[in-house]
Amino acid sequence: MVLLIQYTLIFASVLVLVALGGCFSEHSGVINIGLEGIMVMGALGGALMMKYAPAGTPAFLMILLVILASVLVGMIFSLLLGVAAIRFNADQTLVGTALNLLGPAAAVVLVRAVNMAENADNVSSTVAYGQAKKAFLVNIGRFEFNWFMLISLLVLIASYLALYRTRFGLRLMACGEHPQAADSVGINVYVMRYAGVLISGAMGGLGGLVYITAGVSEWKFENGVAGFGFLALAVMIFGQWKPVNIGLAALLFGLFRALSNVYTGFEALKNLNLPSTVYNMFPYIISLIVLVFVSGKSRAPKAEGIPYDKGQR
């Protein structure tokens, strides 16, 4: 049971960060389905920072540097979507799909180039960072606390306050609902949409970092992030683009994902004699079922996915 809670919280932490990122982007009017690729690139930035941070770096400084690296790489990568969708009015779905294909491929090429430069005997797409990962973990009895659990909760609270209690958040949502009306009162729609995309890149990159520090000491980047970017989109839709609902949805999806890791510890599940792959499929099956029943009643921002034309009224 302790392991189930632990994995549920860590997977929920990943999902809530990435889903909130998508929420900010879509509230600004830009659909970001490229979260999977952004997660991979953010994970790469964090992994390389853990690998090359000087030995003996204090734990707090290590956490800070790794988070900054993941956030920065995620933001830079998300700019590809921002420029294509906002500056050139490209189809946002196609650009997001391209990001999902480009992210893992670029990560593999970069990591293999790094390993080759170090004359590694086995040139692979793996970055070893096992020792540095310990900076994020604290053992509390049998429970392994990851600092990202707390960070995700703080980000969730901050996102709620930013969207509903600040001028920035209200302006951002106005750009996703009625961009022409927002422009008429002096709000720069283009700037707000860039801000939404960059925030999604920052949170997506951080979510990728949380994923690779959850339970692996090294990660092959061609494996991607096991569809967590798409799960986060399902969490966002199920949560109706509202931070609190997204947090609750992330816990639900995180629970089903955690079952695939610890099902052998539950006699009732073990006695079903189902292959482990069935348990791995649980969160994706649940996401399909949820979307079938929820998508018809979902209320997305009205102007999401629609390129803004300043001359249109």
CB 81 within 8 A of CB 32: yes
Helix (H), strand (E) counts: the chain: 13, 4
**What is the topology classification, in CATH, of domain 2-294?**
ABC transporter involved in vitamin B12 uptake, BtuC (1.10.3470)
pLDDT < 50 positions in the chain = none
* pLDDT of 298: 80
Q: Whole-angstrom Cα distance, residue 59 to residue 54?
A: 12
CB atoms within 10 A of CB 105: 14
Q: What is the per-residue pLDDT across 177-186, written as a single tens digit (0 to 9) for each?
A: 999 999 999 9
Q: Whole-angstrom Cα distance, residue 167 to residue 153?
A: 22
* pLDDT of 313: 59
Q: Whole-angstrom Cα distance, residue 10 to residue 213?
A: 9
Give residues with Cβ within 8 angstroms of 144, minimum separation 6: 6, 137, 138
Q: Whole-angstrom Cα distance, residue 62 to residue 131?
A: 11
Structure tokens at 237: 């839709």
* pLDDT of 267: 53
